[in-house]
A = this chain, B = another copy of it.
Amino acid sequence: MIKVAVNGFSVIGRRIADAVAAQPDMKLVGVSKVKADYKAARAIEKGYNLFSLDDKAAKSFADAGMKITGTVREMIPQADIVLDASPEDSGPENKKLYEEFGKKAVFQGGEEDSTAGLSFVAQCNFEKAQGRQYVRVVSCNSTALCRVLHSLDETFGVSKARVVIARRAADPDEVTKGPIDSVVLDPVSIPSHHGPDVNTVLPNFPVISMAIKVPTTHMHLHSLIVSVKDKSVSTQKVIEKFEKTPRLMFVTSKAGFKSTSHIIDMARDLGRPRNDVYESVVWKDSVKVIDDEVYFFMAVHQEAIVTPENIDAIRALMRTHERSESMAITDRTLGIRS
């Protein structure tokens, strides 16, 4: 059993803690948290060992009548590996702690590639991560892009990918963030950082991204335009390739999927925890090849898509399974459909 600590218990931390708890080969030694809020209360209800960030946080848990097991410094030694889901840019500081105790760690996409030395998407570069001390799971948008672009490149050879990302501006519970009635260019300059971030996983991959922020909370929506080298490419061939691509779910407008909301509504119907969608979701009837360019729409659940990647990253660093074995276990335990 791999002993896993989850450092940070917000959007990502809550999800990967539950995912770790669901793995047959892992044991969750605890989760860390700063605030004594309803999320902390729920962790305790689930029987997770709750650790406070520091002594000050410990006091607020005590005031709220919540029993904690200790502080983060007491949690880390109990683990074989740490999933770092702390706030963006706190990776370098946390890394010192992991080094002090000689623990392996998985960082998230809010950190720099250089903090971990390798950026990770399971189906793209699992093998490179095997046995390493650190790895970084890339952001939600980059994870989804790597999945589909790597897949198209395998079969058709990508000569240039262009993507326009309409980002959800806030998560459902982030009530202070806007905009309310506006499209924000984020950033105004082109390309956005998403293309270069894909390149941390797929070096030199030719991809240009443009990004806007829109007033929704549910999913990012990618509009892709991908030029390929194989001139025999066709709509049908791309559909066949995507059907074999891991962690890619097809939906159709005929079955009622006309928006990002319908995807989330389906996830609610599926009984997915927190209506999580781990798959890159592609509209099958949007896939279209015109000349040698592949066009399609893809939706990305920003809260959930990196969950399976984090689980696979653990097994890669711990060298307990090969890629296909790890992905199969992860997919089965999370109910991934593809």
Contacts and interface: CB of A to CB of B under 8 A. Distances in A.
Interface in A178-197: 178-191
Contacts of A270: 42
Nearest to A39: B269
Given A262-B173, A273-B271, A215 B180 contact: yes
Contact of A261 (B173, B188, B257, B293): B173
Interface residues of A, number: 80
A223 B285 CA distance: 22
A182 B260 contact: yes
Interface stretch (A78-86, A140-148, A164-172, A305-313): A164-172
A199 interface: no
Interface in A261-289: 261-262, 264-266, 268-271, 273-275, 283, 285-286, 288
A292 to B, nearest CB: 11
A249 to B, nearest CB: 11
A22 interface: no
- The count of identical subunits is 4
Interface stretch (A91-99, A206-214, A237-245): A206-214
A153 to B, nearest CB: 18
A174 interface: yes
A296 interface: yes
Given A175-B258, A190-B288, A210 B181 contact: no
A183 B271 contact: no
Interface string A204-248: 000010101011111101010100000000000000000000000
Contact of A176 (B179, B254, B255): B179
Top 6 nearest A-B pairs (CB, nearest first) are A37-B256, A182-B261, A181-B181, A175-B179, A268-B274, A188-B253
Given A177-B178, A183-B219, A223-B223, 14 more contacts: A41-B255, A42-B266, A164-B164, A172-B182, A175-B184, A178-B179, A181-B261, A182-B260, A183-B216, A183-B260, A189-B253, A190-B297, A225-B225, A274-B275
